[in-house]
Structure 1
Amino acid sequence: MVAEREIRLSDGRTLRTFDGGGTGPVVVWHHGTPHTGALIPPLLSAAADRGLRLVSYARPGYGGSPSLPGRDVASAAGDVAEVLGALGIDRFVTVGSSGGAPHALACAALLPGRVTAVATFAGLSPYGGDPGWFAGMADDRALRAATAGRAARARYAETAEFDPATFTDADWAVLSGAWAALGEDAVKAGASSPDGALDDHLAFVSPWGFDPATITVPVLLVHGADDRMVPASHADRLLTAIPGATRWLRPGDGHVSVLAAYPAVLDWLVAESSLR
């Protein structure tokens, strides 16, 4: 059973945390944009089958964690360090999906003595002003608005609607099946936590606060070849930027269906880390 609690940080903020329990190696999950941070059944079951303890938290602005305007991607490392300190956890592997992927990489870069391996699904690469960064995105309006600042991104949100064509048929198939809870959680977070997505987008198109090239632990980049939300070119950019990274490009998968590889990714994380 998942234990939920609020953890107070050294700066007075609180973060909502989710702990799947157990005594095995720890996996920290970084949720997408938008999500509440809750640990949904397919995440928990694959971890439990492998004797892993799965932990997550709601980033600022999501799921009961107060917003933190101006946060950068790197700030996730400090938040995770304090959350895991409160839970009595030292070393861990970490995985992030979509908007959670850059935050997982931040932990790998900035907590090298604690993170022993990292994997990402459908993750963005750093934005440096190159117009090509947006190429292949079915709907880039939110991120483009974010490049103009907080007020512009907030104005966009007032009339924004999700374009169903952003997801492939494979995405919709898993969202109506094994990963239905993921879609339900995204809808819940989108309605209740608008600041979370806004601040995520601002962080993605701003300096991340760390250089992915400094990551020294094993890195796995998993991406659907047919992803219309975050094109596979972002995995290519990260593969070039991170020395020694491994890429799994999955033909036929989109932004969400790529999560079918989650059990295999957990196996990779354990095999590549020193948590066995």
Structure 2
Amino acid sequence: MTRIVVAPDGRRLAVEERGKPEGTPIFLLHGTPGSRLGPAPRAQVLYRLGVRLITFDRPGYGLSDRMPQRKVASIAADIEAIADALGVDRFAVVGRSGGAPHALACAALLPERTTRAAALVSIAPHGAEGLDWFAGMTESNVFEYLVARAGPHLAATRLASLAAQIRADPESKVLSLGREGSESDRRIVSDHGLRQMMVRNFTEALRHSADGWVDDVLAFSSGWGFDPAVIRVPTLVWHGENDVFAPVGHSRWLGQRIPNAVVRIQQGVAHLDALSVLPRVLPWLTRELSQQAG
């Protein structure tokens, strides 16, 4: 059931909870574009792992109000507001694809409340020193970021058109990920269950507008509002070596930048394999809080 949480500035945030109500709280941050209804482990898996999974629509997506000119760092205040509303003191956080930089924002800016963080198939900050940001990236993503860097109006125009196409035929967006991606991505897309979860995710994300998508891309195309080097909470960085949507060099850069990060680069897999790796990441995320509870 969807719950609406009101942020301190009056914006509405749409929140969903799954799994074990008294379990270890973990925020799962969706990709770009995405929503609170994005792919997640099945309820029985969450119960078995003792996980209370919390998802929400980032501003401008689904049922959440827009926050114009937001930065990646802005998400920390929203997550803190949701945690307060749900009565959650400390929590772990995991972000997938476009959600990964936002998970790192929690680790950097909410160190007293974030126990562990995982960034799956993340991009690195715009202008990351020593990183060829576009190397190995698929042409459509390169174009999307270049348009964003040219100005907000151009980004809004392009993504509004793409969002309208996706609303008319959301499965086409999912299938395009397989066509543009690696063989591993095509294997994920061929799974009927996962494909339907992705269709539902995109449908909900863009139900009203492309605002969340636009603001994500603009946020990724400018400074994040924090330096990953300040992160001190235990952090896992995972990436599929064959990723063409967020090339693996981005996670290698983050792994070098974040002190004591655990870096896992998996061969033979790519971007969409972050969907299937999540159940293996959850036990790592629960470790500290589980030990405290014991």
Name the TM-score, length of structure 1 as normaliser. 0.92
Within a 5 Å distance, the mapping from 1:2-151 to structure 2 comes to: 3-20=1-18, 21-38=20-37, 40=39, 42=41, 44-128=43-127, 132-138=132-138, 139=140, 140-151=142-153
Q: Which ranges in structure 1 are unaligned for 5 or more consecutive residues?
A: none
- CA-to-aligned-CA distance 1:28-74 (integer Å, 9 cap, x gap): 00000111212545254432220110001100011110111100001
Match of 1:205 in 2: 221
Q: Does the aligned pair in 2 maintain the 1:18–1:39 contact within 8 Å?
A: no
Distance 1:85 1:180, change over 3 A: same
Post-superposition Cα deviations, 1:136-187, rounded to whole Å, max 9, x if no partner, equal 1112111111112211212332555865432222222223325224421343
Q: Answer yes or no: is 1:240 the counterpart of 2:269.
A: no
Distance 1:274 1:65 in 2: 29
Of 255, 265, 268 in structure 1, the residue corresponding to residue 281 of structure 2 is: 265
Select the residue among 176, 185, 198 that pairs with 1:171.
185
Q: Is the 8 A contact 2:240 2:266 kept in 1?
A: yes
* 2:257 corresponds to 1:255: no
Q: Which moved more, 1:178-187 or 1:215-224?
A: 178-187
Mapped partners of 1:50, 1:230: distance in 2? 29
Q: CA RMSD in A?
A: 2.0
Q: Residue 199 of structure 2: which of 184, 209, 216 is its match?
A: 184
Q: Check the 8 A contact 2:35/2:202 in 1, yes or no.
A: no
How many aligned positions are there?
273
Deviation larger for 163-172 or 235-244? 163-172
- 8 A Cα contact 2:5 2:12, kept in partner: yes
- Cα distance in 2, alignment partners of residues 119 and 29 from structure 1: 10
How far apart are residue 120 of structure 1 and its match? 1.3
CA contact (8 A) 2:30 2:38 kept: no
User: Residues 127 and 44 from structure 1, CA distance in 2 versus in 1: closer, same or farther, beyond 3 angstroms?
Assistant: farther
Instruction: Mark the runs of 5 or more structure 2 residues left unpaired by the alignment.
Output: 166-172
How far off is 1:191 after superposition?
A: 5.6
State the identity %.
38
Whole-Å Cα distance in 2 between the matches of residues 86 and 243 of structure 1?
A: 31
Partner deviation per Cα, 1:81-121 (whole Å, 9 max, x = no partner)? 00110000010100000000000000111110000100011
**Bigger Cα displacement from structure 2, 78-87 vs 152-161:** 152-161
- Between 246-255 and 180-189, the greater mean CA deviation after superposition: 180-189
Distance in 2 (CA, whole Å) between partners of 1:87 and 1:258 is 27
1:134 partner letter: F
Taking a change above 3 Å as real, the CA distance of residues 39 and 190 of structure 1, as seen in their structure-2 partners, is closer
| Residue of structure 1 in register with 2:159 after alignment | 157
Query: Structure 1 residues 39 and 229, CA, compared in 2 at 3 Å: closer, same or farther?
Result: closer
| Aligned counterparts of 1:29 and 1:44: Cα–Cα separation in 2 | 14
